Amino acid sequence: MNKAKILESLKKAREAHEAQMIRLQNLIEAGEVVDYKKVSQKQCPVSKTICDFGQWLYGEENHIEELVGELFYKELETLHAQWHIEYVKVFKILFNPEGKGLLSKFLSHDNTIDELELDKVKTYYKDMEKITQQLLSTLKTCERRLNAMSDSRFE
């Protein structure tokens, strides 16, 4: 890939991560359990390799580790993994993949998230926001490094 394509792929990865945060924020604000069977893995990527950002980070065709260096790559990888650890916690509440318990099915007539569970999700989301800020900061540093490199490094 040439320099312009690498920078464009970085931009798309960043935008995909930001869009995922917005989707989560909207789901949290709705305060309802989402039927996970009705969403794709792309919409609720539990695995760090399935999400668009992960596909960019781990994609072999863009040689990100080689271009940004091991230090920055490991930082991106660590932050991305931390984000997914928090995301799994949110996913288990928002998407309830195991289904509601028998008792809660009888007591609840809707799919509203319990107030205590919603508070947990909001706390996890705040942690995800902090991780996202660090991730985006590291991405900006990587972008500056890539912009400073000679075009010949990309061929």
Show me where the domains of the chain are located. 3-150
- Using the structure block, give the residue that is written with the tokens 């999400």: 51
Per-residue pLDDT of the chain (155 residues; tens, 9 = 90+): 889 999 999 999 999 999 999 988 988 888 877 765 555 455 566 788 888 899 999 987 778 999 999 999 999 999 999 999 999 999 888 877 555 543 444 445 567 788 898 899 999 999 999 999 999 999 999 999 999 999 988 87
pLDDT of residue 61: 79
pLDDT for 104 equals 47
Q: How many CB atoms lie within 10 A of CB 32?
A: 14
* Residue 86, CB-side half-sphere exposure with 13 Å CA sphere: 20
pTM: 0.84
